Amino acid sequence: MIYAFITWVVANLKHPIILIIYAGAVSGGFVEIELVGAYLFLLIYTLLFSIPSLIFSCLVVYIPAWLPIKPIYKYLLWILIALAIPSLNLFTLKLLDSGFFKEFDFVVVTPASGAVLLAILFRYKAFMNFIAEPAETSIGND
């Protein structure tokens, strides 16, 4: 679970930057905002609203690790699973809230998925170390 937690933190550190760049690209130019304040606000926002993603990640990270396939296929499967988690997170938040997330489907999921992909690519070696642990000790010592 340590692997999933650290990857979640790395993705959340990248998410506000990607969100600011994405907002600039969608609006047709650079958005003039105070970047440090916007980054801190978005960081708190993404940490808070991505808690379901952390829970989902901790629950499913062992699926590719336990499958009897080559390590590279485990890694590719983990990428596919992890890229689905932001959509699942948004779906969960929509179930809990009646209107706030109604208009933001694509705008919210796209930067989050980009941050997840970058975090997983950045943590390739950590994933390979995670799956290399013996199955008996990976739950208790992770």
The pLDDT score that the predictor gives to residue 105 is: 64
Task: Locate the domains of the chain by residue range.
Answer: 2-141
The pLDDT score that the predictor gives to residue 137 is: 44
- Which residues in the chain land under pLDDT 70? 26-35, 98-107, 134-142
Query: Which 3-state string (H, E, C) describes the chain?
Result: CHHHHHHHHHHHHHHHHHHHHHHHHHHCCCCCCCHHHHHHHHHHHHHHHCHHHHHHHHHHCHHHHHCCCCHHHHHHHHHHHHHHHHHHHHHHHHHHCCCCCCCCHHHHHHHHHHHHHHHHHHCHHHHHHHHHCCHHHHHHHC
The pLDDT score that the predictor gives to residue 109 is: 84
The pLDDT score that the predictor gives to residue 75 is: 97
Report the predicted TM-score, pTM, of the whole model to 2 decimal places: 0.80
The pLDDT score that the predictor gives to residue 28 is: 67
The pLDDT score that the predictor gives to residue 22 is: 79
